[in-house]
């Protein structure tokens, strides 16, 4: 299920409703599209982000007030395998959850692309830090034991190609993405449960909002298949995603009404045997500047 059909409107920041927009929302809600997909489609068409979330929430509220249709019912549960166009081909979606918004893409990257990313990262690996919520500084903590390599957006032709593909499948413009972070976990390596979004009430994290706004979604791409362990776990919903080379799990945590979805608490479970390589892409509300 995709939202390639966009509302035919828009100057940047467009924030006025119309009968055309209302019909567009009603039709796509009836077909089973989720709030996240509709908001992203409106953003791509030039609508103001706050207005888009409010318009979708209002339209969905009206929809919920009426009798449920089969399409609306399907949208609220895991969807069957689908295909989403990415320009260079099609990316199968192995499963899709509506709440919280989580999708698992099959073979987003080829084996050769995964291996090439690992090779790019080997020469610049360093211990992975986290943002100190009070100061905004990057600190090393025991809860995160990976080695990582950070890249700038478009730094390498391979990265530029992958970033364009990510933009196509997620619907989030490439310039809203932070640079890819390549991470390596050895046996026993893990990242304990955490959120990827920033807490605006913590001064250190609030500083991060000045360079692209809030993070709205994460994409984790598995660059190899560990012998055992290393799944991505969502403990609040009882979901574990197995790391399979080339696959990618996408999850969105900015709800249509602007709240942050704490059901996206997640963890990188300990690697039991072998090692794990992943590429992480964080997506922002607005164009990101390093």
As a whole number of angstroms, the distance between CA 137 and CA 131 comes to 6
Please check whether residues 125 and 239 belong to one and the same domain.
yes
Is there a domain that residue 114 lies in? yes
Residues 226 and 244 in one domain: yes
Q: Residue 2: inside a domain, yes or no?
A: no
The per-residue pLDDT string of the chain (290 residues; one tens digit each, 9 = 90 and over) reads: 344 444 544 444 567 777 778 888 888 787 777 777 777 777 766 677 778 888 888 888 865 433 333 332 223 323 334 555 444 567 899 988 988 999 999 999 999 999 999 999 998 887 565 555 555 555 444 555 578 888 888 888 999 999 999 999 998 999 999 999 999 999 999 999 999 999 888 887 888 888 889 999 999 999 999 999 999 999 999 999 999 999 999 999 988 878 899 999 999 999 999 999 999 999 999 998 76
Residue 290 lies in a domain: no
Same domain assignment for residues 140 and 221: yes
Do 114 and 135 share a domain, yes or no?
yes
Q: Are residues 247 and 117 in the same domain?
A: yes
Give CA–CA dist 25/256, Å, rounded.
Answer: 13
Count of other CB atoms within 10 angstroms of residue 284:
23
Residue 289 lies in a domain: no
* Number of domains, the chain: 2
E-only strand ranges, the chain: 82-85, 90-97, 101-105, 126-127, 130-131, 138-139, 147-150, 181-185, 191-194, 215-222, 228-229, 232-234, 239-241, 248-252, 266-268, 271-273, 276-284
Question: Is residue 1, in this structure, part of any structural domain at all?
Answer: no
Same domain, yes or no, for 63 and 131? no
| 181: Cα within 13 Å, side-chain hemisphere | 18
Among the candidates 52, 75, 98, a domain finishes at 75
Q: Please give the Cα distance from 251 to 179 (Å, whole number).
A: 17
Tell whether the torsion through CA atoms of 169, 171, 175 and 181 is positive or negative.
negative
Are 283 and 170 spatial neighbours (Cβ–Cβ below 8 Å)? yes
CA-to-CA distance for 228 and 87, rounded, in angstroms?
A: 34
- Same domain flag for 135 and 258: yes
Asked if 62 and 176 sit in the same domain, the reply is no
Euclidean distance between CA atoms 217 and 167, whole angstroms: 12
- Find the DSSP H helices in 123-192: 157-170
The secondary structure of 221-254 as a DSSP string is: EE-S--SEE--EEETTTTEEE---TT-EEEEE-B
- Give the pLDDT confidence score for residue 76 in this predicted structure: 30
DSSP 87: S
Domain membership flag for residue 200: yes
Q: How far apart (Å, rounded) are the C-alpha atoms in residues 182 and 147?
A: 8
Task: Please say which residue of 53, 75, 97 terminates a domain.
Answer: 75
The residue among 59, 75, 91 that closes a domain is: 75
Cα 250 to Cα 231: distance, rounded to the nearest angstrom: 14
Tell me: do 71 and 87 sit in the same domain.
no
Is 8 a domain residue? no
Q: Is the whole model's pTM more than 0.75, yes or no?
A: no
Residues 158 and 230 in one domain: yes
Please tell me whether residues 71 and 95 are part of one structural domain.
Answer: no
- Judge contact between 233 and 239, C-beta under 8 A: yes
**Residue 13 placed within a domain:** no
Domain assignment of residue 215, given as a range: 82-284
CATH code for the domain in which residue 169 is found: 2.60.120.620
Looking at residue 128, its pLDDT comes to 62
Residue 79 is classified by DSSP as: B
Is residue 105 within 8 Å of 41, Cβ to Cβ? no
104 & 61 share domain: no
């Amino acid at each position: 299920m995709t939202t390639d059909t966009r509302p035919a409107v828009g100057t940047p920041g467009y924030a006025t409703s119309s009968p055309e927009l209302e019909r567009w929302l009603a039709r796509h809600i009836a077909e089973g599209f989720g709030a996240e997909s509709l908001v992203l489609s409106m953003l791509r068409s030039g609508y103001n982000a706050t207005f888009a979330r409010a318009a979708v929430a209002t339209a969905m509220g009206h929809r919920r007030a009426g009798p449920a249709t089969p399409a609306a019912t399907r949208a609220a549960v895991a969807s069957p395998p689908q295909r989403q166009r990415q320009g260079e081909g099609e990316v199968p979606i192995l499963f899709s959850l509506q709440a919280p918004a989580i999708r698992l893409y099959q073979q987003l990257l080829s084996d050769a692309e995964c291996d090439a990313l690992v090779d790019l990262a080997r020469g610049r690996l360093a211990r992975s830090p986290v943002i100190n919520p009070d100061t905004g500084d990057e600190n090393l903590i025991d809860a995160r034991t990976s080695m990582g390599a950070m890249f700038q957006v478009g730094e390498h032709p391979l990265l530029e190609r992958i970033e364009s593909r990510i933009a196509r499948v997620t619907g989030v413009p490439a310039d809203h993405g932070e640079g890819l972070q390549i991470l390596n976990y050895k046996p026993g390596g893990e990242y304990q449960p955490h959120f990827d979004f920033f807490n605006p009430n913590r001064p250190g994290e609030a500083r991060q909002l000045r360079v692209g706004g809030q993070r709205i979604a994460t994409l984790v791409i598995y660059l190899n298949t560990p012998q055992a362990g290393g799944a991505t776990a969502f403990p609040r919903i009882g979901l574990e995603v197995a790391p399979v080379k080339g696959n990618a799990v996408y999850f969105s945590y900015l709800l249509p009404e602007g709240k942050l979805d704490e059901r996206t608490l997640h963890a990188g479970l300990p690697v039991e045997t072998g090692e794990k390589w992943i590429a992480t892409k964080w997506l922002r509300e607005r164009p990101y500047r390093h």
